[in-house]
A and B are shown apart, each in its own frame.
With several copies, the nearest count.
Chain A
Amino acid sequence: MKVTVSSIPFDPWSMLEEYQQQLPSGQFGGSNIFVGTMRDFNVGDSVAEMTLEHYPGMTEKHLEKICLQAIDRWQLVGALIVHRVGLLLPDDPIVLVAAWSAHRKEAFEASRFMIEDLKHSAPFWKKEKTTGGIRWVESNTPS
């Protein structure tokens, strides 16, 4: 498993490639990946930029716990989480979660669990700069 909190833009595809290369050969039949990307709109407003704050230390610890839980529960071959912090622009990747397993059902369920737990519990906070001013995002969508 690997967890990265990145203060600079990241490329999900090269991070997936790099991580997968270290996994044991021939063991995984499926991987499921979710990439969250910054849109240029939210709750009806146009969003020009976004700042993501986190709790250094606790955030990484929490993301590692999510990976360990997913690995244990779905017998994963590998798990990866990358999350961006700092100043983001539209189309920037925000988050990447990925799960490698023997079968597709486990890969789908594990990556869904990972993104849901991350959204509900990992200490990150979004502040948006919209045409109407700067505002903190108050809550995540339930699913």
Chain B
Amino acid sequence: MTITVKFFASLSEQLGKKEISLNAQDNLTLENVWSQATNNAVMPTKLLMAINMEYAQLTDPVNDGDEVAYFPPVTGG
């Protein structure tokens, strides 16, 4: 399956990437996708994540065509 993976803000800077397209096997969770997309980088303690622009959890499944995102705590307003 093919998924889009996005990184934002300080996390994007640390990893040196903003967006990648990932060709991956089926039956992955957000935790698996993180490992593949970052070459097993250590996960920040306060990481937030989303699937198709809705907040999600590490154990949530990712499907073909999904847009996945990882980002640090938000600081808007």
Q: A: which residues have CB within 8 A of B?
A: 36, 52-55, 57-58, 61-62, 83, 94-95, 115, 118-127, 136-140
Name which residue of chain B comes closest to A118, CB basis.
B77
Chain A binding site: helix, strand, loop or mixed by DSSP? mixed
Name which residue of chain B comes closest to A117, CB basis.
B77
Please name all residues of chain B whose beta carbon is closer than 8 Å to the beta carbon of A120 when the two chains form the complex: 74
- Is B72 interfacial (CB-CB < 8 Å)? yes
**B-side interface residues, number (CB < 8 Å):** 16
Q: B: which residues have CB within 8 A of A?
A: 6, 8-10, 50, 53-55, 69, 71-77
> Count the A-B residue pairs with Cβ separation under 8 angstroms: how many?
72
The smallest beta-carbon distance between A18 and chain B, in angstroms, is: 22
**Would you call A125 and B75 a contact (CB within 8 A)?**
yes
Please name all residues of chain A whose beta carbon is closer than 8 Å to the beta carbon of B74 when the two chains form the complex: 119-125, 140
**Would you call B8 and A53 a contact (CB within 8 A)?**
yes
Please name all residues of chain B whose beta carbon is closer than 8 Å to the beta carbon of A62 when the two chains form the complex: 53
Name which residue of chain B comes closest to A34, CB basis.
B77
10 contacts between A and B (CB under 8 A): A53-B9, A55-B50, A83-B77, A124-B77, A125-B74, A126-B76, A138-B72, A138-B73, A139-B73, A140-B75
Please name all residues of chain B whose beta carbon is closer than 8 Å to the beta carbon of A121 when the two chains form the complex: 55, 74
**Would you call A58 and B9 a contact (CB within 8 A)?**
no
The smallest beta-carbon distance between A133 and chain B, in angstroms, is: 14
A53 to B8, CA, bound (A): 8
Considering residues A94, A127, A137, which has the most beta carbons from chain B within 10 angstroms of its beta carbon?
A137
A71 to B9, CA, bound (A): 31
A140 to B72, CA, bound (A): 12
Please name all residues of chain A whose beta carbon is closer than 8 Å to the beta carbon of B77 when the two chains form the complex: 36, 83, 94-95, 115, 118-119, 122, 124, 140
The smallest beta-carbon distance between A58 and chain B, in angstroms, is: 4
**Would you call A124 and B73 a contact (CB within 8 A)?**
no
**Would you call B8 and A125 a contact (CB within 8 A)?**
yes
A91 to B5, CA, bound (A): 35
**5 closest A-B pairs by CB:** A124-B76, A125-B9, A58-B53, A119-B77, A136-B10
